[in-house]
Amino acid sequence: MKKYFLIAIALLLIQNITYAQTERTTKKKVKTVTAIDSVKWRAEHYIVNRDSAYANPRYALKKLQGGNRRFIESKSIRPRQDVSFIKKLEKGQEPFATIVGCSDSRVPNELIFDQGLGDLFIIRTAGQVSAVASYGSMEFAVLKLKTKLIVVLGSYRMWCG
């Protein structure tokens, strides 16, 4: 009886060890792959719908903040930056935001906000000074292009221009 009991325990131990090893190797091999443009992927990459951003300035600001966060975290997706999209822009532009910023070449707005071509209407001024031409460009953006958000970027501890 003792002999059968020891054999049963040995078999149970072998079975548990084998199961633990297969579970461990299975866990190593299984990678969670998130589908691009799934709900989870959109949340992890701070994606805001472009149409919502065009219609509502709050969503436009969230879209810019999400893009900047992607840029900072090296998760840039570089949307709408291919040749086929350039051809679509021949028909006209519909930027969802206007950026008034420094002429400094180290601040490429489409890159730091991870936005595509035609998404932003950029107005650059040297030395943080706006003149009549800048005001006219802002009016054009709001009245003609229908942007509902104007962002004024400033420099901190850096000479602009």
70-116 residue pLDDT tens:
999 998 888 888 888 888 899 999 999 999 988 888 888 999 999 99
Edge-to-edge order in the sheet of strand 150-152: 120-125, 97-102, 150-152
Query: Going by C-beta distance under 8 Å and a sequence separation of 6 or more, which residues neighbour residue 155?
Result: 102, 104, 128
pLDDT for res 143? 96
pLDDT for res 85? 85
Q: Cite the DSSP H helix spans in the chain.
A: 2-29, 39-44, 50-55, 57-72, 83-88, 109-112, 132-143
Task: Give the residues of the chain that fall short of pLDDT 50.
Answer: 2-13, 16-26, 161
pLDDT for res 65? 92
Q: How many residues belong to the chain?
A: 161
Nearest residue to 65 (alpha-carbon basis) of 81, 48, 84, 85: 48
CA separation for the pair 135, 73 (Å, rounded): 34
Whole-model pTM? 0.69
